[in-house]
Amino acid sequence: MQILPCPYCGPRSDAEFHYVGDADKPRPSRDCSDEQWVQYLLMRRNARGAARELWVHRSGCGRWLVLVRDTVNHEVQAAEPMNR
């Protein structure tokens, strides 16, 4: 188990959170091609190091947040409220 910081609730078990996706990946428009939609849904950068990720605290406050997490050692470097 890992403790993740929710910017609204404070530190909580990772079991309360759900990973949504890359926080910096732009969503394609509604009239995008099937290929663009597949690229958006399935293709990931998967780079080593710090990554901005979108999460939801589904068993807690239910709010969305951005975690900056190291993909190598899973260390969370920052937690921010989602401002969209």
Question: Does residue number 28 form part of the binding site for Zn ion (CB under 5 A)?
Answer: no
Residues of this chain, 29-68, that bind Zn ion according to CB under 5 A: 57, 60-61
User: Which residue stretch of 2-10, 17-25, 44-52, 71-79 sits at the interface with Zn ion (rule: CB under 5 A)?
Assistant: 2-10
Sheet holding 64-70, edge to edge: 18-22, 50-56, 64-70, 76-81
Measured from the CB atom, is 6 or 51 closer to Zn ion?
6
The CA-based angle 67-50-55, given to 5 degrees, is 20
Of the candidate residues 6, 23, 51, 67, the single one contacting Zn ion (CB under 5 A): 6
Measured between alpha carbons, how far is 9 from 61 in angstroms, rounded to an integer?
Answer: 7
Question: Does residue number 7 form part of the binding site for Zn ion (CB under 5 A)?
Answer: no
Question: Does residue number 9 form part of the binding site for Zn ion (CB under 5 A)?
Answer: yes
Measured between alpha carbons, how far is 24 from 45 in angstroms, rounded to an integer?
Answer: 11
- Sites of contact with Zn ion (CB under 5 A): 6, 8-9, 57, 60-61
